[in-house]
Amino acid sequence: MPDSYAVKPVSGPLDARIRPPGSKSITNRALVCAALAQGRSHLTGVLHSDDTRVMIEGLGKLGIAVEPAGDASLAVEGCGGEIPALEADLFIGNSGTTVRFLTALVTLGHGAFRLDGVPRMRERPIGDLADALNALGAKVQCESPGGCPPVEVHANGLPGGAAAVRGDISSQFLSGLMMAAPCADRPVELSVNGELVSKPYVAMTLEVMRAFGADGAAADDLSSFSIPCSGYRACDYAIEPDASAASYFWAAAAIAGGTVTVEGLSMDALQGDVHVVDCLEKMGCRVERQADAISVTGGSLHGAELDMNAISDTAQTIAAVALFAEGPTTITGIGHNRHKETDRIGDLAVELRKLGATVDEHDDGMTITPGSLRPAEVATYDDHRMAMSLALVGLRQPGVVILDPGCTSKTYPEFFRDLESITA
Ligand SMILES: O=C(O)C1=C[C@@H](OP(=O)(O)O)[C@@H](O)[C@H](O)C1
Ligand SMILES: C=C(OP(=O)(O)O)C(=O)O
């Protein structure tokens, strides 16, 4: 990828269909469950990107073979809950799911394991996961201030029992604990302290675990879980297209006008991020929800008040749309977005202002008041979502240049090719 990408404004309303690549979140969960399962699993619709590569490489270093099995398909030789490697140094880039899920997974092993990533990963919290694993009898230590990676694990199986985990920083702590739990020595009881953010991802974790034969009972509000020592069974598992990636195409219709249909997703998807279309509808778009596709048609856009706690990966997408709306848009409930690839409130505000908006930053979100848009070189902070969302502004505003467009490789290496395919 070159150092910058000049977005080409569209010449008229869109009329396109697209199927984005597989879900990052489901791919990395299916890999973990398949890795721990008894037997050989086949995963289809897999996402190939930085975040899934570091997961696959990590599992490889733990002695769990993940092999290509055709287009977007992988075969995983499960270890039946017995991690083969006795030691491993895992490099997990800036993948939150990988570092949180594998930290929990390696506690099931016997030996010394270390997980580390890029400099930003050393600022992303994991201490509350370490505390919960330690309450279950593990030995996990975080080396960076504030409880951040590198993480050292001295594993001798996970005894199990009861633990509480904090829910308001990242739901990935809970998901990591849940996926390791069926392979612990004793049943695991988990309770969540504080408000649980990103809830649909926890429901997704349970669904993927169940597909691989693990059982788990959850309170209706996802505040507590009982997970027996069932282990996992290998299976053939089909992964949905990525709904966070789909948000850019739906938002393209909102911004450029016309209709974009995303194939392979419905409102029953495992991914909560499909509900970004509800936000677009509130802002004036028309949404058609079909059994295996969701279409968005652009309309006259107006600002809205949106609690995006459950779907925070799409907050940047909505922020880009807000620049074209009549009146202010307020996004709330996304305080946890400050701990992601970058500070997705503060840094997003800086870039939106460059494009001409007035932005009031709040602890848990922002109010975006559109102004006259202007050309800008948009910095992306090594955050794929900053690049993908703010590129959409250039579909209508000439002169938008995205710096370091290659950062989309974290979850969507072919993003700009696909964006061109729907706007051509
Ligand atoms: O569990 C998952 O797959 C994810 C959970 C969310 O993180 P938080 O729980 O940290 O909000 C989300 O932002 C991330 O992209 C993927
Ligand atoms: C926050 C994200 O990823 P992760 O936390 O898995 O690094 C993301 O993909 O937007």
Give pLDDT, residue 306. 98
Quick: pLDDT tens for 100-138.
999 999 999 999 999 999 999 999 999 999 999 999 999
> Residue 1 — very low, low, confident or very high, per pLDDT cuts 50/70/90?
confident
Give pLDDT, residue 150. 98
Residue 65 above 90 pLDDT? yes
Residues with CB under 6 A from ligand 1: 25, 96-97, 170-172, 175, 197-198, 201, 312-313, 336
Residue 215 above 90 pLDDT? no
Q: Which of 340, 348, 388 to mutate to test the pocket of ligand 2 (most atoms within 8 A of CB)?
A: 340
ipTM strictly over 0.90?
yes
> Residue 242 — very low, low, confident or very high, per pLDDT cuts 50/70/90?
very high
Quick: pLDDT tens for 279-293.
999 999 999 999 999
Proximal ligand: closest to the CA of 382: 2
Binding-site members for 3-phosphoshikimate are 24-25, 29, 170-172, 198, 313, 340
pLDDT-above-70 percentage for the chain: 100
DSSP assignment of 327-361: S-EEEES-GGGGGSSS-TTHHHHHHHHHTT-EEEE
Mean pLDDT score of the chain, rounded to an integer?
98
Quick: pLDDT tens for 19-42.
999 999 999 999 999 999 999 999
Instruction: Respond yes or no on whether the N-terminal peptide bond of residue 150 is cis (omega within 30° of 0).
Output: yes
Proximal ligand: closest to the CA of 55: 2
Residues with CB under 6 A from ligand 2: 94-97, 313, 340-341, 385, 411
Domains 4-21+240-423 and 24-238 share a fold: yes
Distances (CA, A) of 193 to 65, 135, 169: 36, 14, 11
Q: Which of 171, 192, 334 to mutate to test the pocket of ligand 1 (most atoms within 8 A of CB)?
A: 171
Give pLDDT, residue 418. 98
Could you tell me the fold of the domain covering 24-238?
UDP-n-acetylglucosamine1-carboxyvinyl-transferase; Chain (3.65.10)
> How many angstroms is it from 64 CA to the middle of ligand 1?
24
> Residue 234 — very low, low, confident or very high, per pLDDT cuts 50/70/90?
very high
Length of the chain, in residues: 424
Q: What is the mean pLDDT of residues 327-349?
A: 97
Query: Would you kindly state where each structural domain of the chain is located, as residue ranges?
Result: 4-21+240-423, 24-238
DSSP assignment of 363-418: TTEEEEE------EEE--TT-HHHHHHHHGGGGTSTTEEEE-GGGGGGT-TTHHHH
Give pLDDT, residue 26. 99
> How many angstroms is it from 171 CA to the middle of ligand 1?
6
Q: What is the mean pLDDT of residues 323-342?
A: 97
> How many angstroms is it from 172 CA to the middle of ligand 1?
6
Q: Which of 24, 49, 170, 312 to mutate to test the pocket of ligand 2 (most atoms within 8 A of CB)?
A: 24
Residue 424 above 90 pLDDT? no
Give pLDDT, residue 80. 98
Spatial contact of 260 and 250, defined as CB atoms under 8 Å apart: yes
> How many angstroms is it from 33 CA to the middle of ligand 2?
19
Nearest atom, ligand 1, residue 201 CA: 1
Q: What is the DSSP letter of 224?
A: E
Quick: pLDDT tens for 218-233.
999 999 999 999 999 9
Which CATH number is correct for 4-21+240-423, 3.20.10.10, 3.40.50.620, 3.65.10.10, 3.30.70.270? 3.65.10.10
DSSP assignment of 65-101: -EEE-STTEEEEE--TT----SEEEEE-TT-HHHHHH
Q: What is the mean pLDDT of residues 297-305?
A: 97
Residue 156 above 90 pLDDT? yes
Distance CA 374, CA 368 (A): 15
Nearest CA owner, ligand 2 atom 2: 340
Residue 204 above 90 pLDDT? yes
Residue 164 above 90 pLDDT? yes
> How many angstroms is it from 421 CA to the middle of ligand 1?
28
Proximal ligand: closest to the CA of 49: 2
pLDDT-above-90 percentage for the chain: 99
Give pLDDT, residue 197. 98
